[in-house]
Amino acid sequence: MRPTIRTLVLDLGGVLIDVDYTASAKAFAERGIPDFEQAYSKAKQTDIFDRFETGELSPAGFRNAVRGLLSSPLPDAEIDACWNAMLGSIPAERLALVAELRERYPVLLLSNTNAIHVPAFEAIIAQENGVTDFKSLFTAAYYSCELGMRKPHTAIFRHVLQQHGADAAHTLFIDDSPQHVEGARQAGMQAEHLDLDREDVIGLVRRLGLL
């Protein structure tokens, strides 16, 4: 029997906001660059993207690295447009789910993201959901690019737990990437893989009896 859940930690991309990882590859392909998927996908990515997600690379440094990686002189705005193409919407019912969960638990957001995606998805959420302070929807929200570390490394999970005095054994993490789920388990947390081919986060939460 699993220990009682006292704190929830949610991923962002795929769990709350819809993400189409192939959309960025398609956007680059439309600009004559066909091989972006070899460098970046949901399952794996090159060091450039890891370094950008931890803030080691600035947006300018990332764009220059992408130009070098793709051997293309694409201007900044074109790189940003292609990179942000993967970002979708957050259905209103998922925001309602977060609000409902917060009535029972501290709900933390933990996302591997970067300094180009953050203002882009915050703008989408403001426009489509009328939310101008996205982080305020959660007890606290953590972005890898602000912390200088990323999932699946156990350090980021331990940092978040420490910030809230949360007991790992009584904390549940939900993510759609198996490697991140395994990292949370290695940090002593309970963790559930959200298989997006089978269900969405609302279905998972209901199935687990969290509400």
Give the CATH number for residue 99: 3.40.50.1000
CA distance 91 to 101: 16
Does the pLDDT of residue 3 top 80, yes or no?
A: yes
Count CA atoms closer than 13 A to 11's CA, side-chain side: 29
pLDDT above 70: percentage of residues in the chain? 98
pLDDT > 70? residue 42: no
Tell me, yes or no, whether 193 and 127 share the same domain. Answer: yes
Are both 43 and 80 inside the same structural domain? yes
Choose the final residue of a domain: 84, 112, 132.
84
Domain that holds residue 13: 7-18+89-207
Read out DSSP for 56-71?
SS-HHHHHHHHHHHHT
- Looking at the 3D structure of the chain, how many domains does it have? 2
What is the per-residue pLDDT for 43? 63
Tell me what the mean pLDDT of segment 129-149 comes to: 98
DSSP helix/strand/coil, 10: strand
Residue 105 has a pLDDT of 98
Radius of gyration of the chain from Cα atoms? 17
**Residue 41: pLDDT above 70?**
no
pLDDT band at 162 (very low <50, low <70, confident <90, very high): very high
pLDDT of residue 58: 98
| Co-location of 55 and 150 in the same domain | no
Q: Tell me, yes or no, whether 158 and 118 share the same domain.
A: yes
Domain stop point among 30, 55, 84:
84
In the predicted model, is pLDDT for residue 163 greater than 70?
yes
User: Both 73 and 104 in a single domain?
Assistant: no
pLDDT (tens digit per residue) in 49-85:
999 999 999 999 999 999 998 889 999 999 999 999 9
**What's 47's domain CATH number?**
1.10.150.240
Does pLDDT of 2 surpass 90? no
Q: Is residue 76 in some structural domain?
A: yes
Together in a domain, 101 and 65: no
